Amino acid sequence: MDPFGLIQQWFSGYPAGWERLLSMIGIEVHWFILQYVLGLSFLAVVTEAIWLRTRNDDWKRLSRTLAKAFVAVFAVGAATGTASEFGLVLLWPNLTEAAGRYIYFPLYMEIFAFLMEGIFIYMYFYAEDKVSPRTHLIIGILAFVGAWYSGAMILSVNSFMQAPVNVIAHYDPLAGPSSWAPPDVLLFVPAQIAQALDVNKLAAVGAKVISATPEQVTVTLPSGLVRVLMREAFAGKTIGESTLAAVIKPEALQSLSSVSLKTVIDAIVANTVKNAGTFMITFLSKGYLATYVHALGAALTVSAFTLLGGYALRLLKTSKDDRDRGYFLRAIKFAAAVALILIAIQGTGSGHAMGAAVAKYNPEKFAAMEATTTQITSLPGMLGMKQLVEQFMPLLAYGDPNAKLPSYDVITIDYRPPLIIHYLYYTKIGLGVLLGLIGLLAVFYAFRREEWPSWVLWIAVISPAIAQITSFLGWGVREMGRKPWAIYGIMDVQTELTINPPPAWQLMGVALYLSLILVVLVLAVYWFLWRR
Partner 1 sequence: MQAPLPISALLSLSFGVHIVLVNLDMAIATFIPLMEWLARKKNDDFLMERAKILMRYYASTYAIAGVFGTAFTVMLLSFYPQFIGLAGHLTWVPFGLAILMIALRFLTIVLYWYLWDRSPPQTHLAVGGLMALSGYLIPFGFRAVFAFLNVPSGLHLEPKPYLDVVEALMNPTFLPLYLKSVFGALAAGSLMMVTVYIIRYESSEGSLKGRYLELVSRFANYGFASLALMMFFGAWYSVSLITTPYKFYNIFGSLIGKPGEIDFGWLFIVKMILVLVQFIVLYQVFRPRELTETQISWAKIGGPVALATVLVGEMLNMHSQLPYFVAQPEVVNSLPEIFKQALLTTNANTLANLPELYMITTVFLIPLLAAVVALFYLLLKER
Q: Indicate whether 244 belongs to the interface with partner 1 (CB under 8 A).
A: no
Comparison of 128 and 390: residue with beta carbon closer to partner 1: 128
Identify residue 491 by its one-letter amino acid code: M
Q: Which one of 282-290, 441-449, 469-477, 518-526 is the stretch in contact with partner 1 (CB under 8 A)?
A: 518-526
Kindly identify the residues of this chain, within the stretch 267-326, that bind partner 1 according to CB under 8 A.
270, 273-274, 278-279
Closer to partner 1 at the Cβ: 97 or 390?
97
Q: How far is the CB of 416 from partner 1 (least distance, A)?
A: 29
Beta strands at 216-222 and 491-492: parallel, antiparallel or unpaired: unpaired
Task: State the alpha helices, DSSP H only, in 282-419.
Answer: 288-316, 325-345, 351-361, 363-370, 379-382, 386-398
- Count of other CB atoms within 10 angstroms of residue 366: 27
* Closest CB 121 distance from partner 1, rounded Å: 8
Residue number, 40 or 98, with CB nearest to partner 1: 98
SS3 letters for 447-494?
Answer: HHCCCCCHHHHHHHHHHHHHHHHHHHHHHHHHHHCCCCEEECCCEEHH
Q: To the nearest whole angstrom, how small is the minimum distance from the Cβ of residue 189 to partner 1? A: 17
Least Cβ distance, residue 353 to partner 1 (angstroms): 30
Rule CB under 8 A: is residue 114 a binding residue for partner 1?
Answer: yes
Min CB(409)–partner 1 separation in Å = 38
Q: Is the peptide bond before 484 cis (omega within 30 degrees of 0)?
A: yes
Among 21, 24, 116, 138, binds partner 1 (CB under 8 A): 116
CB of 139 to partner 1, least distance (A): 9
Among 260, 427, 494, 515, binds partner 1 (CB under 8 A): 260
Considering only 196-204, 245-253, 377-385, 493-501, which stretch makes contact with partner 1 by CB under 8 A?
A: 493-501
| Number of amino acids touching partner 1 (CB under 8 A) | 72
Least separation in angstroms between residue 274's CB and partner 1 is: 7
Restricted to residues 218-237, the positions that interact with partner 1 (CB under 8 A) are 236
Q: Which stretch binds partner 1 (CB under 8 A): 103-111, 166-174, 223-231, 396-404?
A: 103-111
Helix (H, G, I), strand (E, B) or coil at 15: coil
Task: Report the length, in residues, of the chain.
Answer: 532
Cβ–Cβ < 8 Å for 423, 478: no
Shortest distance (Å) from residue 532 CB to partner 1: 10
CA atoms of 471 and 296, how far apart (whole Å): 11
Indicate which single residue of 56, 115, 212, 317 sits in contact with partner 1 (rule: CB under 8 A).
115
348, 388, 395, 510 from 352: Cα distances, Å: 6, 18, 12, 36
Q: Does 508 bind partner 1 (CB under 8 A)?
A: no
Distance CA 200, CA 148 (A): 49
41, 96, 156, 471: which one binds partner 1 (CB under 8 A): 96
CB of 302 to partner 1, least distance (A): 20
> Which of 98/467 has CB closer to partner 1?
98
Least Cα distance to 512 among 17, 19, 22 occurs for 22
Q: Residue 97, interface with partner 1 (CB under 8 A)?
A: yes
Under DSSP, is residue 208 helix (H, G, I), strand (E, B) or coil?
Answer: strand
Would the CA dihedral through 326, 328, 331, 337 be positive or negative? Answer: negative
Contacts of partner 1 in 122-151 (CB under 8 A)? 122-123, 125-127, 129-131
Of 472, 429, 435, the residue nearest 309 (C-alpha) = 435
CB of 142 to partner 1, least distance (A): 8
**Angle at which helices 363-370 and 351-361 cross, to 10°:** 120
Nearer to partner 1, 75 or 210 (CB): 75
- Closest to 74 (Cα-Cα) out of 18, 26, 27, 125: 125
Q: How far is the CB of 262 from partner 1 (least distance, A)?
A: 6
- How far apart are the C-alpha atoms of 188 and 429, rounded to whole Å? 41
DSSP β-ladder status, 181-190 and 167-170: antiparallel
Interface with partner 1 in residues 54-93 (CB under 8 A): 72, 74-76, 78-83, 85-87, 89-93
Q: Is 530 in the site for partner 1 (CB under 8 A)?
A: no
- Which residue number, 50 or 270, has a Cβ lying nearer to partner 1? 270
The residues in 396-455 that bind partner 1, with binding defined as CB under 8 A, are none
Q: What is the DSSP string of 149-203?
A: HHHHHHHHHHHHHHS-TTEEEE--TTT-GGG-EEEEEEEEEEHHHHTTB-HHHHH
At its nearest, how many Å lie between partner 1 and the CB of residue 166?
15
Contact by Cβ (8 Å): 530, 68 = no
Contact of 92 with 498, CB cutoff 8 Å:
yes
Whose Cβ is closer to partner 1: residue 174's or residue 516's? 516
Window contacting partner 1 (CB under 8 A); options: 48-56, 100-108, 439-447, 455-463? 100-108
